[in-house]
Chain A
């Protein structure tokens, strides 16, 4: 296990060779072509990236899997994909279009060890109900529906329950025992991903010693994508405890009850699972920026940059789950996964609204063995702007707190406060701005910057179920495009409710949703128009000039 971590370090370490170097930029092309070199695509930073360079989600899975991702020798834009895979896609897609809205079978029932099992399927007896009762009551049908879509369990290698998404771990412990037995049966080596496909659902196991994570999913996600979500949960646990502490604990006592240490954090993990079901950031392995005029963003970034302190590593300003600005210490890169975990932490608790929080936090992809200390506060009571200052020195609270004060003072002096407030009023843009009639929605990711952009999800995807169905379609396209044995660069599909296109190159990834009335020629035409629009708007939709202290 230790060796594994070291191996990872060599390609995860912030200033590792995978971080794109500066000055590799060619001319920024007016009309992007598939041959665009990485670093010249719309959204690519002009002065290097902010993040550790990742290849989407592949690097989340074990290195062996990552290495297996074939790089297709050349682009075959416009050409139909292989016949067999198109047929498969066709089949999968129609299943997806219908099944995702259909009523799922009662998985809870199937999970039950016996008819008289102690398991409580009723959401009312849920452990978290006391916490979320208001929301839960409004939404019982919705939650019941979700409840059956994906169960997530975390257990220790000794089979002790650690976390369960629905129902108490106590009640589920017999189920966990069965899973444990399955895991040890399936496990030949540590850190492997295994899955069982049964009638309509997948059971995916991820073992990250000393923990085992299990998902029972009725979603159409691929095994890889489910494993990817489980790994996020694993990283979430590491962010609270550190890898070193987690291992130390279980070395001392194999059957330690980890719930003691995780008490109160269930909400954070619950929130992460909910977020992954509707925020494409996780699927894309990228970060979305708050749309903001470049001049305003630059003023914010400069203010952040100037409010520095010796112990600061990252200064992050965010709104909702969108990034407003990120300033980092020179040579230190943040991993998008770590940033997602921070986003999730903040969105899962209203406790940060009061005073100034000063909390230990591990950024597992940056360094899984130790804690940083994060200063977390909202800029103003009624404004959705949260400032996160990540420091290496736990004793440095007052210095870091002073950085916040200086930042706010600079913002005021530069007079961008008002512009920021305006931007927060419309945190999302409408796809209508692009001016393509058949275009319903899209996700565009710049690979070199690790940033993506996507308009608000609008009609006909109004209902929560519909929104999740759309994300499910993107997930599906994504998994087809990144299939490790046969990755596809172009996918176009015509369905009864929408047409979809995916286009993955070395520089970017684009997923587009059209109304079902359009043609393929129209769709390809629209892509060119869309890419031009993104290029035109890139300085508003992306952070092109990231700053360092």
Chain B
């Protein structure tokens, strides 16, 4: 699913409710909707044009649903991704464990994908330090180990959101020149014309 319309496929992964859609909403529309939480169904696609130096890069952003229901078919959304923003809620240690699951998944299935760890809802920590559920240095060590970048963002205040997406775009520009373009063409033709079942490398 790496279409012509976009230069780089970017996927957001992470447990439900950690704030993936809010991150995209902030990046694409510069706003935050405090209203009722609307869980994503399947995945949503948004194209976002970024400027890096004198170049423009179109990021094709896939905001996936965190619900376990879609886990088995998540591969169709991250396959061929150049960047994965793996999100966890800074106030919820369970969501950090889940983020590690996604990192493993990516390391096993998508070698060419750069990983960005993103701790969300940092504004909640500003209100109350004790709310932090994930230690910064632990994540930092983990990020070094997996060669990932680390950001702590707030879609509510906008903190570090632009920096995150800007870094994704810059890395794409800086690294893609040296990379061989590999397009995943492993579509199962047998199942093309009928409703089918999803399978994934880890199932």
Q: Which residues of A contact B (CB under 8 A)?
A: 130-134, 240-242, 244-245, 260-265, 267, 311, 345, 349-352, 354-362, 367, 369-372, 374, 392-395, 397-398, 401
Contact = CB atoms under 8 A, between A and B. Distances in A.
- Most central of B4, B28, B192 by chain A CB within 10 Å: B192
Interface in B33-79: 36-46, 63, 65, 67-70, 73, 76
Give 7 nearest A-B pairs by CB, closest first.
A359-B42, A370-B195, A398-B3, A264-B39, A355-B46, A355-B44, A351-B38
A393 B44 CA distance: 17
18 contacts: A240-B69, A261-B67, A261-B68, A263-B16, A263-B69, A311-B192, A349-B38, A349-B39, A351-B41, A354-B46, A360-B42, A361-B42, A371-B198, A372-B195, A393-B192, A394-B73, A395-B187, A398-B5
Contacts of A131: 36-37
Contacts, number: 113
B36 A371 contact: no
Contact of B43 (A244, A349, A359): A359
Interface of B: 1, 3-5, 16, 21, 24-25, 28, 36-46, 63, 65, 67-70, 73, 76, 187, 192-198
A398 B36 contact: no
- Most central of B46, B69, B194 by chain A CB within 10 Å: B69
Given A351-B40, A354-B44, A264 B63 contact: no
A272 to B, nearest CB: 14
Contacts of A397: 1, 3, 45
Contacts of A351: 21, 38-41, 44
A245 B198 CA distance: 11
A359 to B, nearest CB: 2
Given A354-B44, A360-B198, A367-B195, 20 more contacts: A131-B36, A131-B37, A261-B68, A311-B192, A349-B41, A351-B40, A352-B41, A354-B46, A357-B42, A358-B44, A359-B41, A370-B194, A371-B196, A392-B192, A392-B193, A392-B195, A394-B76, A394-B198, A395-B1, A397-B45
A47 to B, nearest CB: 25
Contact of A350 (B16, B38, B67, B73): B38
A348 to B, nearest CB: 9
A398 B69 contact: no
Contacts of B25: 354
Given A260-B68, A358-B43, A398 B1 contact: yes
A362 B187 CA distance: 20
Nearest to A350: B38
Contacts of B196: 370-371, 392, 394
B12 to A, nearest CB: 12
Contact of A356 (B44, B195, B197): B44
Given A345-B41, A359-B42, A392-B194, A264 B65 contact: yes
B41 A357 contact: yes
Contact of B45 (A133, A356, A371): A356
Contacts of A345: 41
A133 B35 CA distance: 10
A358 B41 CA distance: 8
Nearest to A395: B187
Nearest to B25: A354
Contacts of B28: 355
Contacts of A358: 42-45
Given A260-B68, A263-B69, A398-B1, A357 B44 contact: yes
A258 to B, nearest CB: 10
Contacts of A240: 69
A264 B68 CA distance: 10
B69 A265 contact: yes
A549 to B, nearest CB: 14
A401 B43 CA distance: 14
Nearest to B195: A370
A236 B158 CA distance: 37
A369 B68 contact: no
A371 B199 CA distance: 12
Contacts of A356: 44-46
B69 A262 contact: yes
A355 B195 contact: no
Contacts of A394: 73, 76, 196, 198
A394 B77 CA distance: 10
A262 B69 CA distance: 7
- Most central of A131, A265, A394 by chain B CB within 10 Å: A394
A133 B36 CA distance: 8
A34 B21 CA distance: 55
B39 to A, nearest CB: 4
B54 to A, nearest CB: 27
Contacts of A262: 69
Contacts of B21: 351, 354
A264 B37 CA distance: 10
